Structure 1
Amino acid sequence: MPKISHKGQQMPESPIRKLVPFAEAATRKGRKIYQLNIGQPDIKTPEVALDAVRNHDIEVLSYSHSAGFESYREKLAGYYQRSNLPVEKDDIIITTGGSEALLFAMGSITDPGDEVIIPEPFYANYNGFATASGVTIKPIQASIENNFALPPIAEFEKLITDKTKAILLCNPGNPTGYLYTKEEVKQLADLALKHDLFVLSDEVYREFAYDGAQHHSIMSLPELANNAIMVDSVSKRYSMCGARVGCLVSKNKEVIATAMKFAQARLSPPTFAQIASEAALDTPQSYFDDVIEQYTFRRNLLVEGLEKIEGVKVAKPKGAFYCIAELPVENADDFAKWLLESFEDGNETIMVAPAAGFYSTPNTGLNQVRIAYVLKKEDLERSIEILEKALKQYKQEN
């Protein structure tokens, strides 16, 4: 029998989606599951985006330019410019989700065996993108004790070798919700310039900053023009996860020219989704004001509720819509499966994402989970109640 590739064998499972079979089995039993495991907002997609697709008079659903619609890139550049980012349409390649932008970036700046430094915990799929690109992740651990703030720059510098090509940052962070300060972003920029590295910044949650805090983009630093690569997406900003439209942004012309070769190889991003995404840029600020108010309320409700549960420690996020909670269990993966297989309260249970999959260092974060606060008030309150009851019963049984 032909053999599967070593790369395929090394490809990690998604810690977010690997529990789906257990959830499906629970659903077949008639059990209601509150899904805290995945960042699928329940916020309505802007009508202006949906109407653009509903009312379009396309007769032939054709390819677009490999870089995406010029009109969309022009309009998107205007969006960034309103945030004081010096981005032009030729600095942008539209991609099939932020995921493809990350793959294009890794393909453009790394060779097999090269290294990328990433603060952990980090978005779990970075492990998969690195495996697909033959890249070695060099993790540097952040701590729940200070809400997963940027580790000391000296620790980054210790990891730099002649194989290091980039520092990858998620800002605001998934899974931590940490929002990097202006000083932290500047420290990374100075380090990248000192060692001639790229800074690859995943900013798909850039609109979601709370408590009056401000998001500081890597693209805002003119001295980093040739070193900065930004990844963005419409998925969370406009609650358009299914559109699968993102972008790669860089002032470095060589990076863009190289990424374009990858873009040409996959032909083009999806046409209807680009139509919706371009229209979404007309979404009024009031939409985002309402969304931020809603997420701030949900964050406070969740964090305050978790803090009242005995043995639970939680980091308070300042961005995105996730938090990391440390539970009084030895293995959160086993606990998450048990919640779906063996536990119910009033025929209801919850689904969480074990956090070990958000680390690259083995045997790290084993008692942590990522919780997405994308549910309405009543469902979040019920989820907290279920978690507290589940932890008590799990402790008795184990």
Structure 2
Amino acid sequence: MAGEAVGMVQGKITDEEIERVRQRIGLIRRPPRYCEAATQDAIRHFCDGIGDDNPLFRDPTYATKTRWGSIVAPPCFLYAVWWSSGATQGFPGVHGFHSGNDWEFYRPIYVDDRISVVERLVDVVEKKSKTAGRIIIQYGEAIYSNQRSEALAKTISWTIRAERTAMRERQTYSEAKVHRYSPEEMAKIEQAYLNEEIRGANPRYWEDVNEGDLIKPMVKGPLNVTDIHGFIAGALGGAAFGRGGAHKFLYLYRKKHPAWGHIDPDTGVLDIPERVHTEDGFAQEVGLPAAYDYGCQRVSWFGNLLTHWMGDDAFLKKLYVKISRFNMLGDATWLKGKVASKYVKDGEHLVDLDLWAENHRGQHSAGRATVSLPSRSTGFRVEDLH
């Protein structure tokens, strides 16, 4: 591989490649897992990576006294098993932007559960974009199960594939500038961290929730490289660094996928395109002014918002997040939500919530969720989960 052109490979979207990838639709694969078991350490590391201090996920003494009887993992811990982001196969040298997930959660993830996952590509859609012209959206489905072959969750995920050259030439985000925070702005952010409320052992009963109720906002950031590395360590591992390891493993992966890697223009050394998440210069190669977060990182923040709000006795059943704008280094993200409706279905007391995230440039992601809450009249039993 010596003597290769420097920088990222500039792949092209072609009719032939679209057809080739579509031939893979429906094929089942078992992707490699970062965390094969939901150990106490693995759960804690994931929580560290998203800034989640909920004792239900961290403190065995506390968790033993809850209705679950032990530590459980936050729902989005499943990203640490396998980062489902659209079954991104094919299109060598074409950049990928994880753009959302639609989760259904079926049962809790208990400490020491061993988790398997199967994934398949479900669709390949061609569209036009003002940001990159011709783009492809790849949709994948992943199903996660425990050691008893019980389904834990299913997700539909999607990733946008865009040509790096087209992104860079269009400069859609050229007006996005790094925000300089005033002392007053930083004080507001710091106070929001101190004021986070974990509902915890105080049940949030369905009868006490009303349509239009607002969730207490949660802030993440201002995003820095430490935040990114913390998330990588807790949730992604080899999926972020060399697709499975460093040194020899990095070389072998690049040898198998020659259009994947990146030759650093300053050193001539093989590196990875994922550095777009930590270094501005790499992000600028795909037309962005600064490095940006991982899509699954932002989805996990919404999970954090919801589990803080709903309390120990509740269960997150659905979480849909669409990532429509980039969250770049220096951005502070305010996560917000509102109760859209409440109803009883099949004996469960449910609330639907609208979700959104804002920074100083405005909304950059939106979503919705469904939470099963305890009822003052019927309670909420683990065995009611299906």
- Give the TM-score, by structure 1 length: 0.24
Query: With CA pairs under 8 Å and 6+ residues apart, which has the higher RCO, 1 or 2?
Result: 1
More strand by percentage: 2
- Give the TM-score, by structure 2 length: 0.25
